[in-house]
Amino acid sequence: MSFFNSIVTNALPILPKWFAKPFAKPYVAGETEDDAIIQIRNLNEKGFLTTVDILGEHINTKEDARLITSHYCNLYDRINLEALTCNISLKPTHVGLYISLAEAMGNITTILKKAKENNNFLRIDMENSPFTDQTFEIYNHCKTIYNQVGVVIQSYLHRSLNDVQHLANEQFNSRICKGIYKESEKIAYHEPEKINENFLSIAKSMILKKSFSAYATHDQDLIDQLLNWIETEKISKDLFEFQVLYGVPMGGRLEALLNTGYKVRVYVPYGPDWFDYSVRRLNENPKVISYVMKNIFRTK
């Protein structure tokens, strides 16, 4: 079955989207805002925090970037209206960074002001290395406007620990993740052990600076290492939370974390641009192919 899963996963990028949709469905909350709101509410009712993201990146027209900006502003109003425990994550290239720094800065400032109006939080996602410095520049600009804004640190980048040393303080809030983009060995670790080691070093550095950390990983061994350190050092639960992607199977681990009193936030993506995102998730977890096939045949 693993061989079959691999064949289907590799073939998905060249197959019609209608064929891929059943395999993508576990990872995406839907194509519309209403779809996402339903899933966010369900997760909240189970005790999970959430963050919502409109799928897409590398927008290359100002009109499209500003349209996405308006969607994010509307989302803040909707979250507030429905009293959801949810904030927003966005990719800078989705709102203009692929066009120019000025375009992204202007659009993200507009979104940030809407976050402030609704007393909510904004997470600025990190993309591949050509945009790293500009993303930090946007983040630093946002901090001059509103404090409830955070950024992402990728543990596979050599530079990340140094970035934390320069940025972290009691007002710094970062999601720590491993990183998903293909980067040169000159700037990024490729060995899983080194990536995990750097992840832990970043987490420890941020705690020393009393910064808030979101530990974004599905790696059960890494979660064990984090928990062992948290419990040994008696780290305050007010200084961190765990984060996971919507739909990634964790074998009951998330519920166990909730039952132990830890905060867990689910990253909820939605939108019509679901295809590329879902293919990436399936490459990380090809077993979903066999789960879906079993359900299809069971239904029939």
Query: For residue 13, what pLDDT is reported?
Result: 54
Token readout for 123 is 């997470």
SS3 183: coil
Stretch 12-19: mean pLDDT: 51
Instruction: Give this prediction's pTM.
Output: 0.87
Domains of the chain: 1-28+282-291 (no CATH), 29-273 (3.20.20.220)
Distance CA 9, CA 13 (A): 8
How confident is residue 20, by pLDDT bands cut at 50, 70 and 90?
A: low
Contact by Cβ (8 Å): 77, 114: yes
Query: For residue 239, what pLDDT is reported?
Result: 98
* pLDDT tens track for 134-155: 999 999 999 999 999 999 999 9
* pLDDT tens track for 246-270: 988 899 999 999 999 999 999 999 9
Query: For residue 293, what pLDDT is reported?
Result: 38
Q: What is the DSSP letter of 163?
A: H
Query: For residue 295, what pLDDT is reported?
Result: 40
* pLDDT tens track for 78-129: 999 999 999 999 999 999 999 999 999 999 999 999 999 999 999 999 999 9
Catalytically active residues, by annotation: 125, 175
SS3 124: strand
Res. 290: pLDDT tops 60: no
Beta-carbon contacts of 18 under 8 Å, excluding residues fewer than 6 positions away, are none
Query: For residue 265, what pLDDT is reported?
Result: 98
Q: Which range has highest mean pLDDT (6-15, 220-229, 278-287)?
A: 220-229
Give the N- to C-terminal CA distance of the chain in Å, as an integer: 20
User: Which one has a higher pLDDT value, 173 or 26?
Assistant: 173
Query: For residue 273, what pLDDT is reported?
Result: 80
